[in-house]
Amino acid sequence: MTTQTVTQISAAARGKWPVILQMLRIDVPENGRHGPCPKCGGKDRFRLDDLDGRGTWICSQCGNGDGLDLVKLMTGYGVRKAAQEVAQVLTVPDVQELPVKPARQKAPRRDMSLTVAALMKESHTGESPYLNGKGFAGYPASLTGSVQHISGKDFPAGSLLLPLT
């Protein structure tokens, strides 16, 4: 019988943590949902996000870690003993690798410099009714030349433009 290192066991467990935890009778919420922590309880303080198939988890009370850390937390074992428990489960033929979810692709960001340039081209200089109402009359400011629809909100013509740099 060959002895596996903790690193080898962790590598072998990658992508299999939901099944491993289930076989070790560690009850965690499914599909990355919030739920009770298997250690401290609570209502929705825990989730298994399983980043990169490493069994990563977060609890607002207990902290966070990977799958092996959760086994250690639940059993009270040290890292070697916890890894041995995982290795025993891995020898069961029913443990199959679950497909690792690909990271979400971020939507491409628009080039805001073009948007700002178009907005400034359409603007004019004048006194802002808003600033006048606040007691800042006589200060020239950039104002929108027409109604603007930005992020689901409508801004009337003459709205104050404040460039942020």
Q: Using one digit for the tens of pLDDT, what is the confidence trace for 143-154?
A: 998 998 888 888
Q: How many CB atoms lie within 10 A of CB 97?
A: 12
Please tell me the predicted confidence (pLDDT) of residue 99.
66
Please tell me the predicted confidence (pLDDT) of residue 81.
92
Instruction: Take residue 101 and report the two structure tokens written for it.
Output: 């979810």
Give the contacts of 55 (CB within 8 A, at least 6 positions apart): 13, 17, 18, 20, 21, 48, 66, 67, 68, 70
Q: For the chain, which residues make up each domain, given as ranges? A: 6-90, 112-155
Closest to 53 in 3D by CA, of 87, 93, 103: 103
* CATH 3.90.580 corresponds to the domain 6-90: yes
pTM passes above 0.75:
no
- The yes-or-no verdict on residue 118 having pLDDT over 90 is no
CB 16, CB 89: distance < 8 Å: no
- In this prediction, residue 26 has a pLDDT band, given cuts at 50, 70 and 90, of very high
